[in-house]
Amino acid sequence: MKKILIIGAGKSSKVLVDFLLKDAQAKNRKLILADMDVYEAEKKLEGHPAGTATGIDIHDSEKLGKLVQQADIVVSMVPAFLHPLVAKASVKEGKHFFSASYESPEMRTLATEIDRKGLFFLNECGLDPGIDHMSAMKLIDAETTAGNNIVLFKSYCGGLLSPESESDNPWRYKFTWNPRNVVLAGQSTSRFIRNGRYKFIPYHMLFRRTDLVTFKTVGEFDGYANRDSLNYRKVYGLEDIPTIIRGTLRRAGFCKSWDVLVQLGLTDNSFEVDLPRDFTMRMFTNSFLPYDPAHRVEEKIKRLLPWVDAVIMEKLAWLGLFDDTPLPLLKGSPAEILQIILEDKWKLSPYDKDMVVMQHQLEADTPAGEKRNITSSMVIKGENLEYTAMAKTVGLPLAAAVDLFLEGEIQLKGLHLPIRNEIYVPVLKLLASNGIHFEEEVVLSKNQ
């Protein structure tokens, strides 16, 4: 009997757990779900005979080691900064390891010992990173195998609201994942290359320099550049490509409105305030504006940022930033206070459904003098607040990789990302059979 240990019973673990339990008895497998909150783990298992819930203190290395000893495979679903603790225990006990998070420098220090022990460690096998890597490499490998020269690669991904859940919110956005990451997004300078020229976008300009990305079925989106697209030239084997950009998607118009919060300083996380008890939302907004007793807050924003229009003002007002109501947090950074405000306004209702959208745009020159323009799009909608699009697209790739490894369809050893065809081909095939797939459109033209 093969034993799978999953550490962490958070948001995306339900999809992962359900997939691995589905055929667990038929495949002679047992699943151990460990979490600080045993009750939460028990809820996820729903009494399945092949599942066992247990409590864990991940910082207790002795108990963590004993738990890892019981398993053949360890799946880490803990916050990203805790993965090295689980990975080190897995190496020490000689167990294979899987995660959906970025491969950290600390993880790479384990590579030699992972190789020496003949273990398989797979990171970045979720959504972004994960599905983005696999679907990108499928396109890239197909073009290079055909002898075509890839000259442009753009990749965008976003976790958003499904269209039917947008009508009660002028931002057309609610938190479907980590609110802190949304508030602090883009605060490092973005780097990419376009037409052979290096480009850098500092934070204060990021949400002004966006691309329009269109999906046939769900409309238009703003795409803003991620922190570092340049590293992906090496990851994807595109060292000489003249254009490569990776970005995040928000509904069209979102970025122009969000930029107001950036320009005012409400997303600043570099200092802390300690405000009086009678401070209101309106006073908080006003504290980031010039002193001017003759003009109202709304007028001062327009004078400071002349491009702010009525649509943007409506969005700011909807957030309550002009209300004379108590500020919900008085001590913390501006970003922390804004996050509390947004968590109330952008909270999913019980009936809301989320959506994940991803699109790759690739251009390649053929030996025959043609240009191939490929657009590959994925749209996944959530079913409810448990089987969300985000949970499915994070949990299913990881579950698929674990299942395929146990079935012997992935036979690699060492520390890996899912960029090799031995991994991405079977995983993408399994995902497609479970409703996660891409629609591709190819347009051919003559090179000028």
* Single residue among 345, 366, 400 that ends a domain in this structure: 345
C-alpha closest to that of 255 among 116, 367, 158, 366: 158
Q: Is residue 414 part of a domain?
A: no
Task: Specify the 3-state DSSP secondary structure of 445.
Answer: strand
* Confidence (pLDDT) at 12: 78
Q: What is the mean pLDDT of residues 371-397?
A: 94
**Angle at the Cα of 241 (from 235 to 243), degrees rounded to 5?**
105
The mean pLDDT of 1-28, rounded to a whole number, is: 93
> 154 in a domain, yes or no?
yes
The answer to whether residues 209 and 285 belong to one domain is no
H helix count then E strand count, the chain: 17, 18
Mean pLDDT value of segment 155-175 = 95
Domain total for the chain?
A: 3
Please tell me the distance from the alpha carbon of residue 194 to that of residue 351, in angstroms, as a whole number. Answer: 42
**Cβ proximity of 136 and 236 under 8 Å:** yes
Listed residues 123, 153, 188: the one ending a domain: 123
| pLDDT at residue 278, rounded to an integer | 93
pLDDT tens digit sequence for 179-231: 999 999 988 899 999 999 999 999 999 999 999 999 999 999 999 999 999 99
Environment class of 394 (CB within 10 Å of its CB; exposed 0-12, middle 13-18, buried 19+): buried
Where b means 16+ CB within 10 Å and e means fewer, 133-156 reads bbbbbbbbbebeeeebebbbbbbb
The pLDDT of residue 448 is: 67
What letter would DSSP give residue 349? P
- Domain identity same for 177 and 222: yes
Residue 426 resides in a domain: no
Do the domain assignments include residue 20?
Answer: yes
Answer yes or no: is 34 within a domain. yes
Domain of residue 113, residue span? 2-123
Pairing between β-strand 120-122 and β-strand 414-416 as defined by DSSP bridges:
parallel
Tell me, what CATH number does 157's domain have? Answer: 3.30.360.10
Helix axes 83-93, 61-69, angle to 10 degrees: 50
Mean pLDDT of 422-437: 96
So what's the pLDDT on residue 238? 96
Place of tokens 């990108």: 136
Same domain as 361, residue 332:
no
Q: Residue 177's pLDDT is what?
A: 80
Domain stops at, among 322, 345, 368: 345
In a domain? residue 410: no
Longest Cα separation, the chain: 76
Q: How many CA atoms, within 13 angstroms, populate the side-chain half-sphere of residue 199?
A: 18
Residue 355 Cα distances to 65, 226, 318, angstroms: 38, 20, 23
Assign residue 326 the CATH number of its domain: 1.10.1870.10
Per-position DSSP letters for 142-154, written without gaps between them = HHHHTT-EEEEEE
The answer on 175 and 147 residing in a single domain is yes
In DSSP terms, 160 is beta-bridged to 355
Closest by alpha carbon to 140, among 233, 75, 78?
233
pLDDT of residue 247: 96
Helix axes 421-433, 389-406, angle to 10 degrees: 120
Residue 184 lies in a domain: yes
Report pLDDT digits (tens) over 79-108: 888 899 999 999 999 999 999 999 999 999
User: Do 148 and 54 belong together in one domain?
Assistant: no
- Residue 146 domain-assigned? yes
* CA 70 from centroid of its chain's CA atoms: 31
Question: What's the chain's average pLDDT?
Answer: 95
pLDDT class for 11, splitting at 50, 70, 90? confident
When pLDDT is averaged across residues 362-385 and rounded to a whole number, the result is 95
The residue to which tokens 């997939």 are assigned? 19
Question: 173 with 249, same domain?
Answer: yes
pLDDT surpasses 90 at 3: yes
Query: Encoding tokens for residue 232?
Result: 């992906």
Helix (H, G, I), strand (E, B) or coil at 306: coil
